[in-house]
Amino acid sequence: MSTSEARTGAPAAIEYPDRPEGPISAAIIAAGVGALALGILTTVSEASVGVHDWLEWSERVGPLSGKTIMAVVVWLVAWAVLHVVYRQRTVETRTALIVALVLIALGVIGTFPEFFQAFASE
Which domain does 70 fall in, by range? 24-119
Q: What is the mean pLDDT of each successive set of 10 residues along the chain, which is 122 residues long?
A: 58 72 93 97 91 89 91 98 91 92 96 87 68
**Is residue 113 classed exposed, middle or buried when 0-12, 13-18 and 19+ CB atoms within 10 A define those classes?**
exposed
112 falls within a domain: yes
Q: What's the confidence (pLDDT) of residue 5?
A: 54
Tell me the pTM.
0.79
43 falls within a domain: yes
Q: What's the confidence (pLDDT) of residue 115?
A: 87
Number of domains forming the structure of the chain? 1
3 falls within a domain: no
**Is residue 120 classed exposed, middle or buried when 0-12, 13-18 and 19+ CB atoms within 10 A define those classes?**
exposed
16 falls within a domain: no
